[in-house]
């Protein structure tokens, strides 16, 4: 199974700069301090540290919504401001760490690969049916669907998420993009996948930011379901985060634990889920933190 890194400069990916070597010691020191506080005072602190959620309302909001779509939405769409006030500088500092950059890179990578797969299907003359599992805000999918609508191509989609807030937010975004009539919104869990999708038979399944919360056995079962749902020749885009130097910061300071997988571990999950290695590839964004497994079902 090929494992590559997408360094296409035209995509506008964010990369490391020399300031990273200065940020990392600060990140590690704060992580150690918060971990020590949690040992002494208990795991549920109102403020983990003054220098993160104490001084920055934006960082506090991300911490309070960790592991949910709203925190990702903040990271995706935060606008860096040219202001000299201390609170803004604190927020800017944390929204420029490698994981924040990488998650924005992931959004760009997913959109790029989704465009490629949609174009492949259009070349075959087929209608396009897309399923987004644990869709969250579904920002990337909505933006790509809107692009293709402007080109005269219609994508029918099902957005599935257990969080009613995510469903309502994605509805609002779809309405603004002018594609809400192309989407069926389903407020159910991934465990209800087969019943929710029914006879939809998707050409594309997109599942980004969800495998990170499934242990190996449950992840394999979920991939098996995706493989069964896809039409022959269909493709799944499945993300997973890789181990990195900031993962303990995410867990301790941001209260955001995840299941980290190496490329080989991600490959093992999708293969045991039913996809053949020769029909899969894994592509990482330039920081090599977020990867997308792109797996096609045998015709």
- pLDDT value of residue 124: 65
Looking at the chain, the whole-number percentage of residues with pLDDT higher than 70 is 99
Cα atoms found within 13 Å of the Cα of residue 255, Cβ hemisphere only: 20
The answer to whether 209 and 72 are in contact (CB under 8 A) is yes
pLDDT tens-digit readout, 101-146: 999 999 999 999 999 999 998 876 678 999 999 999 999 999 999 9
Across-strand partners of 282? 3, 293
Question: In whole numbers, what is the pLDDT of the chain averaged over residues?
Answer: 94
Query: From CA 190, how far away is CA 196, in angstroms rounded?
Result: 9
Q: Can you state the angle between helices 164-177 and 69-77, rounded to 10 degrees? A: 40
Q: What is the mean pLDDT of residues 24-41?
A: 95
Site of tokens 């992580």: 31
Q: What is the mean pLDDT of residues 199-217?
A: 95
Q: What is the mean pLDDT of residues 166-172?
A: 97
* Alpha-carbon distances of 91 from 54, 73, 129, rounded to whole Å: 11, 15, 39
Which segments of 14-61 are extended strands (E)? none
pLDDT tens-digit readout, 216-252: 999 999 999 999 999 999 999 999 999 999 999 999 9
What pLDDT band is residue 283 in, cutting at 50, 70 and 90? very high
Question: For residue 8, how many other CB atoms are within 10 A of its CB?
Answer: 12
The pLDDT of residue 20 is above 70: yes
Residues across the chain: 299
Query: From CA 173, how far away is CA 67, in angstroms rounded?
Result: 20
Can you list the domains of the chain with their CATH numbers? 13-100 (no CATH), 105-296 (3.40.50.150)
Q: Residue 239 in 3-state DSSP?
A: strand
pLDDT tens-digit readout, 42-98: 999 999 999 999 999 999 999 999 999 999 999 999 988 777 788 999 999 999 999
User: Residue 190 has which token pair?
Assistant: 């991934």
pTM of the model: 0.94
């Amino acid at each position: 199974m090929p494992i590559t890194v997408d360094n296409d400069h035209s995509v506008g990916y964010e990369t490391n700069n020399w300031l990273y070597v200065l940020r990392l010691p600060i990140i590690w020191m704060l992580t150690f301090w918060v971990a020590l506080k949690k040992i002494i005072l208990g795991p549920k602190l109102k403020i983990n540290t003054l220098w993160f959620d104490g001084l920055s309302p934006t960082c506090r909001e991300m911490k309070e919504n960790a592991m949910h779509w709203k925190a990702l939405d903040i990271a995706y769409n935060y606008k860096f401001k040219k202001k000299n006030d201390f609170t803004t500088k604190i927020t800017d500092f944390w929204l420029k760490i490698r994981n924040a950059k990488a998650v924005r890179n992931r959004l760009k990578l997913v959109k790029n690969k989704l465009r490629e797969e949609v174009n492949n299907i259009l070349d075959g003359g087929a209608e396009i049916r897309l399923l987004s599992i644990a869709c969250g805000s579904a920002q990337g999918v909505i933006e790509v669907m809107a692009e293709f609508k402007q080109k005269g191509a219609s994508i029918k989609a099902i957005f599935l998420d257990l969080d009613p807030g995510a469903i309502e937010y994605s509805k609002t975004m779809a309405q603004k993009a002018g594609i809400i009539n192309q989407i069926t919104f389903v407020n159910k869990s991934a465990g209800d996948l087969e019943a929710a999708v029914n006879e939809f038979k998707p050409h594309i399944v997109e599942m980004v930011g969800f495998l990170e919360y499934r242990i190996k056995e449950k992840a394999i079962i979920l991939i098996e379901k995706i493989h069964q749902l896809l039409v022959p020749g269909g493709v799944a885009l499945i993300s997973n985060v890789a181990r990195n130097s900031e993962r303990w910061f995410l867990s301790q300071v941001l209260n955001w634990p995840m299941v980290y997988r190496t490329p080989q571990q991600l490959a093992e999950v999708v293969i045991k889920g039913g996809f053949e290695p020769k029909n899969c590839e894994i592509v990482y964004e330039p920081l090599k933190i977020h990867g997308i497994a792109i797996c096609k079902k045998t015709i």
